[in-house]
Amino acid sequence: GQNIDQPTEMTATEGAIVQINCTYQTSGFNGLFWYQQHAGEAPTFLSYNVLDGLEEKGRFSSFLSRSKGYSYLLLKELQMKDSASYLCAVTPPGTNAGKSTFGDGTTLTVKP
Amino acid sequence: DGGITQSPKYLFRKEGQNVTLSCEQNLNHDAMYWYRQDPGQGLRLIYYSQIVNDFQKGDIAEGYSVSREKKESFPLTVTSAQKNPTAFYLCASSDYTGELFFGEGSRLTVL
């Protein structure tokens, strides 16, 4: 089975940096996704890690350590619009790549 | 524009009624999924389909049914057997990497 843990809530200040952690224990692993979900809306893709290391995309970066079952999402220069839920999702190997298992999400509140 | 279209956006159901949520995609993806989301929780997989005329149960399939008669369409029926159907339902399709492309969601409320 799959078990994914994320902090439930985080608060940060506009302009700051925040790191959202995700740990997972899975019976099979292909890759790890991060999605952003604003309240009442559908999730949207942020990042995808397959290999160990850091993937950078603008203000957002994501890190993966497969040996430790650990990932984090790093958000820099926080803006008010970054207030949202951030979902960590693990995908299995093989042809079921889209059959993701999701964590419960981390609700980030950005304050002025 | 390519994407996923879900309808209706809001739906109300009386006790004992079946309701069907529509999901259409024009991304030419083979795989499609239905997820359920309850407040403060992540997404849980209801059903998925990797090819036309074939689908598999996810983690919480009881009380739901699906069909996949066309590549573009993957409707979900919430039956009266689903005891707690009030939730936010998300349809998605995926490419070969597993990235999920979501519709806008359907919010179902039982009256």
Strand order in the sheet with B19-25: B4-7, B19-25, B76-78, B64-66
Strands B100-102 and B87-94: antiparallel
Secondary structure of residue B4 in the 3-state scheme: strand
Residue B86: exposure state from Cβ atoms within 10 A (0-12, 13-18, ≥19): middle
pLDDT band at A95 (very low <50, low <70, confident <90, very high): low
Interface of B with A (CB under 8 A): 31, 33, 35, 40-45, 48, 50, 58, 90, 92-105
Q: Report the alpha-carbon distance of residue A96 to residue A98 in Å, rounded.
A: 5
Is pLDDT at A1 greater than 80 in this prediction?
no
Give the DSSP letter of residue B79.
Answer: -
| Token pair for B21 | 């949520």
Q: What is the pLDDT of residues A26-53, one digit of tens each?
A: 888 889 999 999 998 999 999 999 999 9
Report yes or no: A8 and A15 within 8 Å, Cβ to Cβ. no
pLDDT at residue A108 in the model? 98
In the beta sheet, which residues pair with residue B81?
A: none
Residue B73 has pLDDT above 80, yes or no: yes
CA dihedral A34, A38, A41, A46 (to 10 degrees): -20
Cβ contact, residue pair B98, A98, below 8 Å: yes
Residues B93 and B31: beta-carbon distance below 8 Å: yes
The answer, yes or no, to whether the previous bond of B8 is cis (omega within 30 of 0) is: yes
Interface test with B, best of A102, A107, A109 (most B CBs within 10 A): A102
Mean pLDDT for B80-89 is 91
